Amino acid sequence: MTTSVSATPEKHTPTTDSLIRPVSLLSSIEKRSASLPTDDLVDETEEQFSWTKSIFRRKQMFSRDLDAIATRRSVFDDPGLAQYYWPNKDYENLHRFDPTARWTYREEKALVRKLDWKIMLMAAIAFSALNLDRSNISQANSDSFLQDIELTTDDFNLGNTVFLLAFLCAELPSQLVSKRIGPDRWIPTQICLWSFVSLSQFWLTGRTSFLVCRAFLGVLQGGFIPDLILYLSYFYTKTELPMRLALFWMSENFVAILASFIAYGVLHMDGVAGIAGWRWLFIIEGILTLLIGIFCFFNMPPSPTQTKAWFRPKGWFTEREEIIMVNRILRDDPSKGDMHNREGLTLRRLWTAVCDYDLWPIYILGLMFGIPNSPPSTYLTLLLTNIGFNTFDTNLLTIPSLAIGIITMFWITLVSESVNERTIVSMMMDLWTLPFLVALYALPSNPNPWIFFAVATGLLSYPYTHPIQVGWCSRNAGAVASRTVNASLYNMFVQVSGIVSAQIYVASDAPRYQRGNRTLIIICCVNICILYPATKAYYIWRNRQRAKIWDAMTTEERAHYLSTTKDVGNRRLDFRFAH
């Protein structure tokens, strides 16, 4: 049963004393809570089902009472246990925390829409800068790039490996810097720094300068994706984040399409001022991403309650909106109040996160899931050129798979959240890929160019499940400190995947790479038949282990455990792993 509210719920602003002694504030709130009904709160499963159902059944979404209470039930509604989940006294949003706050679907819907325009859009623009500077090497490869600086295919592979190794080594250090100074400062700094390196590729002269630039780009871009994910987690709930991450990576495909059109035009500048087209491509796109980095400095606020600045005196959100933002986030995940957003990680917390063996199944998936698609994707422009398409047609022919990929990525993420399933749905990427790899392997030595294009396009239109797995890793981390490190570790395994992938298509196997395709088919089968089923079985087993202990406890025993345990995040007995 839902309860309509016609007036704004009572607000509560903690005093200075309450910030120092949160338990005393809890006592005062408990008294107020006694008169507040809790049967109108939304359970987590009910909220998720309503959200996904509303996507598929638009009539039900519009028929919902928008003035009904949208506040989700949480541990803060249990007077006996709430104090053990209270935010840290240094939490930057504590002055807006109020467990008695209630809000409506109308208010939440308007706020999330505002967050999407203010926060998500800016994150997508920042991500586009990364993708623009990462993809231009592929477009340059469709021109005379390799020939002009006397590189072989193996040199190109080595450059990709150097980039990924540098990217890998920079992941954790980047996260430590980001957590200390804040992702709102570090992300724009990263973009500006790597933009200078990217545009400097205009002056590449040979193998050495190529490898040095790839190394610097890897160091400066390492950790960028986990930084952005951490930043978005400050504003979105765990049920909202996966869809935003899908939009996040959909923007990658959109940028790749845009980059193809840019490359088509810029590569026609070949010979202008006696300069090769690929050189113009590097410097033009480098300047463009530098402008994006500067723009980010002024449009990435540190947290929901810190949007005011000298150039934005009124901020983005009202006090009411800040209260809703903070409380909906903490009700969804109380661990987000454990740390200040500019609080660095201690070596102990870092080591604890690294040793979290319960997340290693997801790391292993991060290592393996993308390998079957990576070599064909990296070499698509070269493969199309080798089979008879010219430079300009090749760049345009990459667009169909990117466009279809946007649709399949959104669809697979929507399915995952709709059925509340991650393991089996993530496996769909490899199930999609396998028949196309077999077809690619079975093609004759001199296939019809358009048949080859059709098979390659089908293969690369796969439903990209990386957003699902990133959100999955973030959810299973269970705490801000571990989430920061675990996101980096997951991404490090993804980068190792790229290093492995770069060794599968080798010059001795050109131009059809039959041995490489046979290897990709084997890896794809291992993912489908072993890794994904084993991961699901592991998390089901771990949850049953914990439920057996936790469910046997009395309320007093649970309170004693929460008040005395040193377990944090996903080590706690009350934590359940998503799968």
How far does the chain reach from its first CA to its final CA, in angstroms? 30
Instruction: Judge residue 348's burial from the number of C-beta atoms within 10 Å of its C-beta, 0-12 exposed, 13-18 middle, 19 or more buried.
Output: exposed
> How far is CA 69 from its chain centroid?
30
Q: How far apart are CA 519 and CA 11, in angstroms?
A: 61
Beta-bridge partner residues of 104: 69
Cβ atoms of residues 473 and 570 within 8 Å:
no
The dihedral over CA atoms of 161, 167, 172, 177, expressed in degrees to the nearest 10, equals: 160
Token readout for 362 is: 């997801």
Could you say which DSSP state residue 304 is in?
Answer: T
What was the pLDDT predicted at 63? 52
Q: What is the mean pLDDT of each run of 10 residues along the chain (579 residues)?
A: 36 36 46 52 51 43 71 82 82 89 91 93 90 80 81 83 86 85 92 93 89 92 86 87 81 80 85 86 92 94 90 91 92 81 75 83 92 83 75 78 86 85 91 92 84 87 88 79 78 84 81 86 94 94 90 85 80 84
* Gap between the Cα atoms of 157 and 323, Å rounded: 51
pLDDT computed for residue 38 by the predictor: 55
Question: CA 174 from chain center: how many Å?
Answer: 16
CB 195 within 8 A of CB 129: yes
**What was the pLDDT predicted at 7?**
35
Which pLDDT value is given to residue 53? Answer: 45
Amino acid at 114: K
Distance CA 464, CA 385 (A): 25
Return the pLDDT at 492: 84
What pLDDT sits at residue 20?
A: 35
pLDDT, residue 37, reads 54
pLDDT number for residue 84: 78
∠ CA 550-52-82, rounded to 5°: 35
Instruction: Give 11's DSSP letter.
Output: P
Q: Which two tokens stand for residue 66?
A: 């928008």
Q: Which two tokens stand for residue 272?
A: 């202008």
What is residue 564's predicted lDDT score, i.e. its pLDDT? 83
